[in-house]
Chain A
Amino acid sequence: SITGACRAIQKLTRVRVVDNSTLGNTPYHRPPKCIHVYNKTGVGKVGDKILLAIKGEKKKALIVGHKMPGPTMTPRFDSNNVVLIEDNGNPVGTRIKTPIPYTLRRREGEFSKVLAIARNFV
């Protein structure tokens, strides 16, 4: 694969879906790409919502980890991880095996359901 410079997630970044939903795990000839970041700046960090294009459909998702180094004491992952989400915030999948940063716990109100299905925390 072609790796570019490590910035956080913006439009047209290829992204790795991390939960066990069918939409995220069935193979397709094009990888899931970000088409919009719901942020004042177009750059998405951990805890931001984005719009993904997967299998010809649009789906919202939550960023759980990116390749860009963040503040010290926060983990930096080797791939841009994303969890599929509905419009009201409910996760599509039922389990998240990959580790999730503890910093997401700060926004317990919005992401409580996503944090509930997560197994490992880093």
Chain B
Amino acid sequence: VLHTTRPLHTTQQSLAPVPPLPEKGGEVRHGVIPEEFFQFLYPKTGVTGPYMLGTGLLLYLLSKEIYVVNHETAAAACILSVIVYAIKKFGPNVAAFADKLNEEKMASALAMKNEAIETLQKAIDEEKKEQWRVEGRTYLFDAKRNNIAMLLETNYRERLLMVYNEVKKRLDYQVAMQTLKRQKEQEHMIQWVEKNVVQSITPQQQKESIAKCILDLKALSKSAHAAV
């Protein structure tokens, strides 16, 4: 059963951002004794209290032979002196080196963070530009509509032209048919008339016409003689 009415994340506690590390660790005096011990004894014994305590303890241990002085004591003394000398001499160098390493780590982490922020910012800008582009879609659709209207118009006109051509072809055919028919009729009539006329010239008529022509010629020649 999921309690949908239960509020989630009511407290402010969250894992990020992580609180930064403290700058310096707890204070330690002489490398082995924490500072809190000195502060603990300060109200009652002042500044020299813990040192007095340390000296007294040391003398007690030595005199009661709780701490036995033997060959190991000499070795420990030499080793400790060398260690202290080394630390005093090379301490700051090592500290600077470690700080440099830390700085590099921090710098690379910061660089990554900045890069991520920049990439995201660029993505945001790109997105905004895309949104602006979307606003231009009205123009796009107007252009498309114009294109389609032009296509339709072109198609209509093409078909109109085709219809006109077809109709003209049919009408031309009719006209050509009529002229041909008239021509043929004319030719046929002329031939028929000529044939009939030639047939109607009988031989008797031919002789008469020839005799008339001769008489005419004689008359003409007489008039011509006379003229000359």
The answer on A and B forming one complex is no
Binding site for B on A (CB under 8 A): none
Binding site for A on B (CB under 8 A): none
